[in-house]
Amino acid sequence: GRPFDGFVEQTKRVSPTCLIQFEGNRYSVPASFANRPISLRVYPDRLRIIAEGQVLCVHDRIITRSHGVPGRTVYDWRHYLA
C-alpha cells in the first residue's frame, strides 16, 4: 500500500516580497504569486506550497527548539527571476 501522506494544510497569503510566514520563519514563493493566496502543506520535514492545483515549490522545514531566536528566511533565488 501507499505510505500515508500525512500533512496539515493551511491557507496563507503571499507577501508583496514573495514570502510566506510559518512558525516564525519565512519562505520564498515564486514572484508571480505575490499578494495571492496559496495552500501550505506542512509535513514533518518539509513545506509544500500549492496554488491553482500545482506544486509551486518545496522547502525544507526549519525546526527551531529555542525561543527568542530570530526567525530565518529561506530564499530560492529562482523565485525572483521574472
pLDDT averages per 10-residue partition of the chain, 82 residues: 78 97 96 97 96 96 82 91 69
- What ranges do the domains of the chain cover? 8-77
Residues in a beta bridge with 22: 25
Cα(35)–Cα(20) distance, rounded to whole angstroms? 10
pTM of the model: 0.85
pLDDT at 43: 95
Sequential DSSP letters for 13-69: E--TTSEEEETTEEEE--GGGTTSEEEEEE-SSEEEEEETTEEEEEEEPP---STTP
pLDDT at 3: 63
Answer whether 18's CB lies under 8 Å from 79's CB: yes
